[in-house]
Structure 1
Amino acid sequence: MLDRDGRFFAAFDRDSASSVILSATLADGQIVRQVLTIEPREWDIQRVNVALRGGRTSEAFWKIREPEYNAIVAARAQETGSEGWKQSFVWPVQGRISGRFGRQRIYRGEPGSYHSGLDIAPGAGVPYVAPADGVVVLAETGFSLEGGLIIIDHGQGLNSAFLHSSRILVEEGDVVKQGQHIGDVGATGRATGPHLHWSIKWRDARLDPLLFVNPQS
């Protein structure tokens, strides 16, 4: 989709192919194609000589988890028309980086799931802000994994999720501005200590938040 100036957003996830085709369908039906080369990055990969434990979900847990999962999928599918994707993103909060995007363990040759966001640990109760303009498409407390969760749509299929919040200051449907206080850092859900897990997705692609912000000051 193009905006009124003919601009668009597209991105590639951690395990993207090295070569992809960008195609555009013009108003007259003509299709223009361009081959893009995706440069690989170095990831924090740890190889351990232990077997990968089965991640089978129990029926009892899935009964709790399924409506949460469906709510997250539905929220991320919303198209609000926000233009926050055009902005230079700011840090939601500054602090020690306790977990980086893309980190992964390989268990005797079998890969585990990689870390899908950026963990920032400034301390419990520290306020965090919206990194760009957007519309709140999900604001819930008590989710089994995420705890207090906020998802903001920035437009063009780009959205930010903020996990483990101790306090949420926005509601679904709220229009938020860059730098607006939206919640406080916590350790709710499945968290070993207080931190903000910030993840960014563009449609089905998970993106590294560090690519969106300048180094911490």
Structure 2
Amino acid sequence: MRLRTLVLAFAALAASALPACAAELTGAVQQGALVLGRTQPGATVTLDGRPVRVDEQGRFVIGFNRDAAGEATLVEIGPGGDQAETRLTIAPRQWDIQRIDGLPDKQVTPDPKLLERIRAENARVAAVRETDRPDPDVFAGFALPVPAETRVSGVFGSQRILNGQPRSPHSGTDWAAPEGTAVGAVGPGVVSLAEDDLFYTGKTVMIDHGHGVQSVYAHLSRIDVGTGARVATGQTIGAVGATGRATGPHLHFGISWFGERLDPQTALPVLIRPGE
């Protein structure tokens, strides 16, 4: 009896030394990645000191932008005070860089009036991205915004350097499709922005999926939803077009975690199969 008591006591002591709240992560930790996590219900989570929303089931989302590098520190504190710290090594990726020289200045730098408009529009979109809605729509299972056979015509992370001046890297995935092709919401959520005429992206819709995750649909030929509308996965929210700065009909699709732009081609597979 005494031996059994000692064995049980030792087992309890060993268990208490384990990081009971160490999270399970789904998705590769790499540049441009979205990663789903699960910890103890009631735990708190931070990423490099930034609080991360955790739902009642212990689920959370983190993301890494195109230029993230080195390590990130994920800290979890369980409801009983137990703590786990995980160092995440962010895997680098190669991006397509194109250099074009000899262009007229007006093709490289917009005039002051346009710059003022662009900055105002960018600020409005950035404010939308900072919303931290608690609804767990992001965990409900996602779908592609266009048919799976649609041709990809532009990839995340590619960049042009014009006359030696780096332009902003491409922040999403482009799908080339005929004008009028229906565009579906990739997941459930609330329409956070519906704009008819943004300078770069033309008719544009953003959907808030909760936990800081937003999807964006740009260059649309029409918009079928309004700000504040609740949408379901696959619901038509507009149609492919060529509005804004577009050379032909296509859908520019983006996904973000707060201000971090993520790669749709790596993020969507994680969300389509959320590992529930």
TM-score using structure 1 length: 0.87
Residues 70 and 106 of structure 1, relative CA distance in 2, 3 Å threshold: closer
- Alignment-derived partner of residue 9 in structure 1: 61
Q: Which is bigger in relative contact order (C-alpha 8 A, separation at least 6)? A: 1
Unaligned 5+ segments in structure 1 are none
Unaligned 5+ segments in structure 2 are 1-52, 270-276
Residues 73 and 213 of structure 1, relative CA distance in 2, 3 Å threshold: closer
- Alignment-derived partner of residue 186 in structure 1: 241
Contact 2:126 2:259 in 1 (8 A): no
State the secondary structure of the residue aligned to 1:89.
coil
- Alignment-derived partner of residue 82 in structure 1: 135
Give the alignment partner of residue 69 of structure 1, picking from 96, 100, 122: 122
Pick which of 36-45 and 56-65 moved more.
Answer: 56-65
Residues 138-217 of structure 1: pairs in structure 2 closer than 5 A: 138-214=193-269
2:251 alignment partner AA: L
When you count helix as a share of all residues, which structure comes out higher? Answer: 2
Partner Cα distance (1:112, 1:57) in 2: 12
State the secondary structure of the residue aligned to 1:212.
helix
- The structural deviation recorded for 1:157 is 0.5
Identity %: 41
Partner Cα distance (2:100, 2:258) in 1: 35
RMSD value, Cα: 2.4
Contact 2:134 2:210 in 1 (8 A): yes
Structure ID, larger Rg? 2
TM-score using structure 2 length: 0.70
Partner Cα distance (1:27, 1:56) in 2: 53
Contact 1:82 1:153 in 2 (8 A): no
- Provide, for residues 1-32 of structure 1, a one-character-per-residue CA deviation record: whole Å limited to 9, x for no partner: 10001110001111111321112345577754
Give the alignment partner of residue 58 of structure 1, picking from 103, 107, 111: 111
